[in-house]
Structure 1
Amino acid sequence: MTPLKVGACLAPHEIGDHRDWLFDADRDIELQGFSTHQDLALEFEDRIAASKAALTGFRGRLGMHGPYEGLDMDNKDPEVRPIITARYLKALEAAERVGARQMVLHSPLTRWYEWNRLNKPNYWDTKLARIHDVMMPVIKAAETAGITLVIENILDVDPASRRAMVDSFESDAIALSIDTGHAHLARRMSGAPPVDYFVRDASDQLRHVHLQDLDGHADRHWAPGEGEIHWQEVFRALSECASDPHLVLELRRKSDIPQGFTYLKRLGLVM
């Protein structure tokens, strides 16, 4: 198994602390700091400027985490849905201006959906129609900008449901993201399959991965090696994926990035 190159998720002011490791090897970076109303409305231009300054000289692949707080892609209120669309479009503008080629958005699928999808007539079709109402303008804008929206599992139980949602748009501008910690937490909380199954189900639709470890109780975002995830099997699955997804350590303590990288490197999984 060939070791894979990994990068990290960082806000602009944190990039300097890991600059040599990131820039010298052209590692993937996922920009954070464009998720809230304050980020996208009150401090928008300042955050754009800070990002461009922090990324000066960067030659690797760049992504960005989009907004998610209070923004449900499957909102049932028709007056609220346009607000969510507008927030996603504003974040997409930020991604384009800083040179990001991906933007991460959160999945709207939950255990409630999986347990109730056959409980009501047309439950899936009705849900999907709401999602399309929010997302179609964003998909069209992403196509024009050459940016791929990658949909991250949050409370997803069956990875095939999120894949079907992505497929329903019939667009290259939307693909799949996997958060390893969220997948493992769903296994412990909701009987979801193990992390490597999420990867294998996504197959070549997979374009982005958050690498984080946890104990199965909470969304810890620990460094790999501190929790329960079987990293060898996760990377076996990733090595079979032909789509070359962005691989980024998304850790709560950014100072733990060297620790997480060293652990995976010692296992022969990363370079």
Structure 2
Amino acid sequence: MAAASGGHPGGEAVGGEPPAREQAHNPPHPLAAQRSPLLGAALMVADLEQHRDWLVAGRRDVEIQDPCLPEVLDGDWRALARRARALLAGHGGRVGIHGPFLDLSLAPFDRRARELTIERLRQGLAFAAELEATHMVVHSPFLSFGHGAYTFQPAARRARELAAARAVIEALLPLCAPIGCTLVIENIADGSPLPLLDLVRSIGSPSVQLSLDTGHATIMQALGAPAPDQWVREAGALLAHLHLQDTDGALDRHWAPGDGSINWFALFEALGELAHQPRLLLELDDHRQIPRAAAFLAGRGLAR
């Protein structure tokens, strides 16, 4: 979920190709031309109309982010979901949502905390059903567990944390399959993909897969975590979804690609090695930058 960080380096949203001078210094990467994956966007319902033509014309994937907010789930969320469906009529792309995460843990040891998490995530799935959404983003619980010490952590402790996460996820699975919605677990402060991969593999359900947030992965590189492209290679067939955002590594900026330090050529080269196409959602703090972000990646032959 994009969060305000102050001071965006981009100007007003613009479309089209990068300037000729910039193209000369940044020619399309030769390996990137092997594929041209399709970009989509993560948006609030209030911002859908502004980007509707772009989404519909390209049959692009879209993610509705409103249901991550508790005030939405405590209000008339069905009317909001119907509004989103009306705006996306004839859209043709895949639709998903960002599930609730504020004050929630996907792996709580406290029984009452677990009950609250399950209740809120069930509400998220109800919103997904109303919208006919086929993915719901949930946040990784491994805020300190997923670093290099994971390898040396006592097996009993690792098993306990994985079991706590499975208890929540397995309570949701009976709701996922009937509505065709996949839970995608997004890296947050994870220093390694290994705990998330262990969790997804231990559940062994096609309704639970991985999500990669490129900015989150980049921030954690300062603590020795792998780069976003290495996350792609480690996750492999389990990677179903990406939040594309740039950062300088200092904060969770949610800048447009090209405004930070991420190596986008390396990321899309890794994506091109996959046998499937994950959903690629631009998740920007300023949704008005979406045309410029898409033009940056398209102008380098990385995406369309």
Do both share a fold (TM > 0.5)?
yes
CA shift at 1:201, angstroms?
0.6
Are residue 160 (structure 1) and residue 197 (structure 2) matched? no
Q: Quote the offset at 1:150 in angstroms.
A: 0.5
**Residue 140 of structure 1 corresponds to which residue in structure 2?**
174
Higher relative CO (Cα under 8 Å, sequence separation at least 6) belongs to: 2
Partner of 2:266: 233
Secondary structure, in 3 states, of the residue corresponding to 1:79? Answer: helix
- Give, in angstroms, the shift of residue 265 of structure 1: 0.9
Matches of 1:215 and 1:43, distance apart in 2: 38
Are 2:129 and 1:85 aligned? no
Q: Pick one of 27, 50, 75 that aligns with 1:42.
A: 75
Any unmatched runs of 5+ in structure 1?
none
Shift of 1:113: 4.7
How far the C-alpha of 1:139 sits from its partner, in A, is: 1.8
- Greater mean alpha carbon deviation, residues 41-50 or residues 8-17: 41-50
Provide, for residues 72-115 of structure 1, a one-character-per-residue CA deviation record: whole Å limited to 9, x for no partner.
01112112201110110110011011011111100111334535
Which of 234, 238, 242 is 2:275 aligned to? 242
SS in 2 for 1:210: strand
- The range that moved more, 247-256 or 161-170, is 161-170
CA 1:120–1:164: 2 relative to 1, 3 Å: closer
Q: Which moved more, 1:158-167 or 1:249-258?
A: 158-167
Q: Distance in 2 between matches of 1:174 and 1:119?
A: 25
Residue 3 of structure 1: how far off its partner (Å): 1.5
Distance 1:221 1:185 in 2: 11
**C-alpha distance in 2 between matches for 1:84 and 1:112:** 19
State whether residues 8 and 249 of structure 1, in contact with CA within 8 Å, keep that contact through their aligned partners in structure 2: yes
RMSD after superposition: 1.3
Compared CA separation, residues 148 and 69, structure 1 to 2 (3 A): same
2:143 to 99, 110, 135: 110
Range that drifts further, 158-167 or 214-223: 158-167
Question: Shift of the alpha carbon at 1:120?
Answer: 4.3
Task: For residue 178 of structure 1, report the CA deviation from its aligned partner.
Answer: 0.3
**Once the 2 structures are TM-superposed, how far is the Cα of residue 191 of structure 1 from its aligned partner?**
0.9
- Trace 1:174-193 onto structure 2 (pairs within 5 A): 174-188=208-222, 190-193=223-226
Deviation at 1:6, TM superposition (A): 0.3
Three-state SS of the structure 2 residue aligned to 1:208 is strand
Question: Using a 3 Å threshold, how does the CA distance of structure 1 residues 204 and 143 change in structure 2: closer, same or farther?
Answer: same
**By how many angstroms is 1:43 displaced?**
2.9
Contact 2:37 2:303 in 1 (8 A): yes
CA contact (8 A) 1:214 1:220 kept: yes
SS at match of 1:223: coil
Question: Residues of 2 paired with 1:116 and 1:160: CA distance?
Answer: 11
The answer for the alignment partner of 1:129 in structure 2 is 163
Measure the CA separation in 2 of the matches of 1:8 and 1:113: 28
Structure 2, gaps ≥5 residues long:
1-33
> Contact conserved, 1:13 with 1:50, CA < 8 A, in 2?
no
Aligned-residue sequence identity (percent) comes to 36
Q: How many residues align?
A: 270
Query: Structure 1 CA distance, aligned partners of 2:126 and 2:101?
Result: 16
2-side partners of 1:242 and 1:107: how far apart? Answer: 25
Q: Give a deviation string over 1:40-78, Cα, whole Å, max 9, x none.
A: 122322322221222122111111110000110111211
User: Secondary structure of the residue that 1:42 maps to in structure 2?
Assistant: coil
What amino acid sits opposite 2:71 in the alignment?
Answer: Q
Letter matched to residue 177 of structure 2: E
Classify the secondary structure of the residue corresponding to 1:168.
helix
Aligned to 2:103: 70
1:126-173 CA-to-partner distances (Å, cap 9, x unmatched) read: 111111221111122112221111000001111122111111111110
Instruction: Provide the C-alpha distance between the structure 2 equivalents of 1:142 and 1:216, rounded to a whole number of angstroms.
Output: 35
Residue type of the alignment partner of 2:288: S
Helix, strand or coil for the counterpart of 1:34?
Answer: helix
Structure 1 counterpart of 2:53, from 20, 25, 30: 20
Distance 2:237 2:163 in 1: 25
SS of the aligned residue for 1:57 comes to coil
Equivalent-residue separation in structure 1 for 2:84 and 2:52 (angstroms) = 13
* TM-score, normalization by structure 1: 0.96
Matched residue, 2:244: 211
Secondary structure of the equivalent of 1:80?
helix
